[in-house]
Structure 1
Amino acid sequence: MHGGDIYRNSIVSDFSVNINPLGVPDEVQWVLTEAALHANKYPDIVHEALVGDTAALFDVSEQTIVYGNGASEIIMAICHAINPKRALLVAPCFSGYETCLKGVNPKCKLLYYHLSEENDFELHHDFVERIIVEKPELVFLTNPNNPNGKLIDKDLLDDIIETCDKTGAVLVVDECFLPLTGKDMQRSVIQDIQSHKSVIALRAFTKSFAIPGVRIGYAICSKEAMADQLKSHLPEWNLSIFAQMAGVECLKHHEYLEKSVKVVEEERYFLTHEMKKLGVKVYGSDANFLLFKCNNFELKQQLLEYRILIRDCSDYEGLAKGFYRIAVKQHNENEGLISALSDVLF
C-alpha cells in the first residue's frame, strides 16, 4: 500500500518514499535533539506557536488551521467530519483517501475518475462534469498528483473549486508535494481559500523537510466552522513536543526549500533522460518523483538484490503490473539506481 518498508528489507537506497533529497535541515535536526530535554512536559494542547507562525506565513486566520499527527490523521478526521455517502477520487492517486473513507463508512460509494495513460495521466476538464453529474459530498485531489507527479492546470483547478462551491461538495486539495515543485505560491489554493465555501488545503512537513518519522501535517480550511469540525474528530495532545518544535523551525527555512527545488529539477531531468536511454517509459512529472513503466514485472524484487527499494504501483487503482515509482534523490544515489537498472534490464 505504501513505500518505505525498510524494516523488512536490507536497504541502502530507498527510492520508494518521496522525501526531500537534501534530507533533514541541520537546524531542524538540532531542534529535534533539543526537544528530548523537554520530554518530561506535556506539549501545548493548542499548538499556539505553530499555529501562529503558520497563520502569519500564509496570511490566514489562526482559527482556520488544524494540525495533526501527519496528514494521514487529518484525512481520517475529514472523512469522519463529512461522513460522505458519495466521494469522488482520481485514479491513480494516493491510497490513503480510500482507506480512510472505507474505514469511516464501508457503505460510502467511491467514484473514480480514471486518468488516461495516453494523456500522461493529466487531469482534464471533464472532471468538472463528473462533479456536476455524480454530486459527491467529498472530493479529493492531490496537487501534484501521486504517483505521476503532474500539477493540475490552474484554470481547471479554479473551475473545480467554483463547481464544488456551487454543488456543496467539500474539496480537499492535498498539497503535500507542492513546495518541492518550485510553483508553490503560484499554484496553492491557500492564496484565496477564505473566499470559498468548503475548501481544505492539506499539507505536511513530511516530504518537504524529510521528517516522516516526526509525523506532523496540517490543514488550512476556507471557514472556521470546518476547522472546528475537524478538530472535534482529533484526539487531544495529538502532536508531540518533538513535532511542535520541529514544525516551528521548519517554517523558518524557505531558503532550504528553494535550494531543494533546484536539486529536484536537475536530478529529475537526469533520471528521466537516463531511464529513457534504457528503453523505459517515463511519464512527465513536476514533482520530486517519477512514474515509469517497463515490461519487467519482477523489477522491484530484482533491485532488492542491489539493496535498492522502489515502489511497485500495481496496487494503485487504475494501474497494472509494470508500473513503478521512484523518488528523485541526490546524484550519487540516482547514478547507483541507473547502474542497477542497466544491469537488471540488459
Structure 2
Amino acid sequence: MYEHGGNIHGFETPMVDFSANINPLGIPEKLRIAWIEQMKEVTSYPDPAYRKLKKAIADHHLLSEKADILLGNGAVDLIHSVIKSVRPQEVLIPSPAFSEYRNASIRNEIPYREALLYDSLGHLQMEKFLKAVRDRSLVFLCNPNNPTGKALKASELDRILKKMEETGSFLVLDETFLPFVEEEKRHSLLGEEPENVLFLRALTKIYGIPGVRLGYGILYNEILAKKMISLQEPWHINTFADIAGQVVLKETGYLLETASWLKNEKAFLYRELSKVPWLTWIESDCNFILVKSSCASAEEIQKNLLADQILIRLPYGFNGLTSHHFRIAVKDRSSNLKLMNALQKIKDIT
C-alpha cells in the first residue's frame, strides 16, 4: 500500500492534489530563469564536493565552520543513511509520524518502537516522551510534526536534548516543514550546535519543486558526518538540484509571499471547515491540516471527492490515526474553495 501523498500519476484526468504538502506558489521565477540560462551545465559532471551548494546552505543558516553539511536525494535519503551510520540499539518513533522513519529501520534491520505520544490536539506529550527514551537510542522527531502540524518550541527541544545526553542517544530532528512556521528560529536548536543531533531540511516543499529531490542535513559531529558521506555515491545530486539550491536559498521575496499566502489561506480553510458539522481538525503551525470525520471514513470521503478530481491524504502509514482521519494541504484560493465546496456537498455518508 502506498504510504505517501502526491501519487497523481494513476489518474487519466488532472487532479487537484491535497495529499502532498507543496507550496502552490510554484517554481520561484529566479530559479526558472537560472535553469534556462545554465542549461549548458548538464554537459558537465556536477562538482563532486558541491562546494557552491554547501556554501549557499551555510550562508542561509549562518553556520559556523564546525558544521558539516550532508546532501541527499531528498530528506528521505538522509533518513536511511543516518540509521546505517549510527546503528543504534533501537529506534524510537513518536507516533503518529512519517512512515519512512519506520521503513528505514526495517530496511536496516534495526529494532524500532512506535509509541503513541501525541495527544488529540496534536501536541507531543512531553513527560511520556522523555520516559520513552531508552539508552543508546536513535530518536526521530518531526518538527513541526507530520501529520499533526504542531511545532515544538526551542525550550521544549532543550529538554529533549538534555534527555538525549543523559541516555547517550541521538536525535534526528526533521525540520522539513519548519520554513512554513512563523518565526521558525523560535522552534529550532540549530544555533546551539549540538553534537548528537542531525538537523534535516528539504528545499522541495517550501520552494514548490518536489520533482527535483534535494534535501540536506546539518551535523556538528565530524566522525558521524564522515560515516554518512562514505555511504553516498559520487554525483548523487544532479545538476538541476545543485543549481536550485544555490538560487532559492538566496530568495527572500518568495518566502515573504509564502508567509502571506499561508496565513490567509489557513484562516480561510478554518472558516470553511467550521461549516461542515461532521468534521473536526487540529489548528496547524505549518502548511497542512489534520482533519477527522465523525461519520464517513477517509476512504469514503475520498471516493466522493474523486468526482471533483480531488485527492486527500488518507491515513495509510500513520500509526495512531484512525480510518476517519485525513490530511489536507493548504493550497491556493481556487483549489481550497473547490475542496470546501466538495466537502460541503457530501451528505448522509455513513
**TM bracket (short chain):** over 0.9
Please, which moves more after superposition, 170-179 or 307-316?
307-316
Superposition deviation, residue 121 in structure 1: 4.1
Structure-2 residue corresponding to 1:90? 94
**Deviation per residue, 1:66-118 (Å, 9 max, x gap):** 1111111111111111122311111101111111111011xx22122313443
Aligned residues: percent identity? 33
**Deviation per residue, 1:150-193 (Å, 9 max, x gap):** 0013322111012112221110100010011122222122111x
For the Cα contact (< 8 Å) 1:89–1:141, is it kept in 2? yes
**Deviation per residue, 1:52-76 (Å, 9 max, x gap):** 1211222223751111111111111
Structure-2 residue corresponding to 1:78? 82
Q: Which amino acid aligns with 1:340?
A: A
How many residues are aligned here?
Answer: 340
Provide the rounded CA distance (Å) in 2 between the counterparts of 1:68 and 1:62.
20
TM-score, L = length of structure 1: 0.94
Superposition deviation, residue 225 in structure 1: 2.0
Provide the rounded CA distance (Å) in 2 between the counterparts of 1:32 and 1:7.
25
For the Cα contact (< 8 Å) 1:64–1:224, is it kept in 2? yes
For the Cα contact (< 8 Å) 1:66–1:218, is it kept in 2? yes
Superposition deviation, residue 238 in structure 1: 0.5
Contiguous gaps of at least 5 residues in structure 1: none
Provide the rounded CA distance (Å) in 2 between the counterparts of 1:337 and 1:204.
27
Equivalent positions of 1:1-346 (< 5 A) are 1-9=3-11, 10-60=13-63, 61=65, 64-105=68-109, 108-131=110-133, 134-192=134-192, 194=193, 196-279=194-277, 280-294=279-293, 295-297=295-297, 298-345=300-347
CA 19–62 in structure 1, closer or farther in 2 if over 3 Å, else same? farther
For the Cα contact (< 8 Å) 1:142–1:175, is it kept in 2? yes
Superposition deviation, residue 136 in structure 1: 4.5
SS of 1:39's equivalent in the other structure is helix
SS of 2:10's equivalent in the other structure is coil
Superposition deviation, residue 255 in structure 1: 2.5
CA-atom RMSD in angstroms: 1.6
Provide the rounded CA distance (Å) in 1 between the counterparts of 2:233 and 2:240.
17
Q: Which amino acid aligns with 1:316?
A: F
Provide the rounded CA distance (Å) in 1 between the counterparts of 2:97 and 2:318.
7
For the Cα contact (< 8 Å) 2:154–2:188, is it kept in 1? no
Provide the rounded CA distance (Å) in 2 between the counterparts of 1:117 and 1:273.
23
Superposition deviation, residue 315 in structure 1: 3.3
TM-score, L = length of structure 2: 0.93
Provide the rounded CA distance (Å) in 2 between the counterparts of 1:234 and 1:299.
42
Provide the rounded CA distance (Å) in 1 between the counterparts of 2:207 and 2:93.
27
Provide the rounded CA distance (Å) in 2 between the counterparts of 1:146 and 1:118.
14
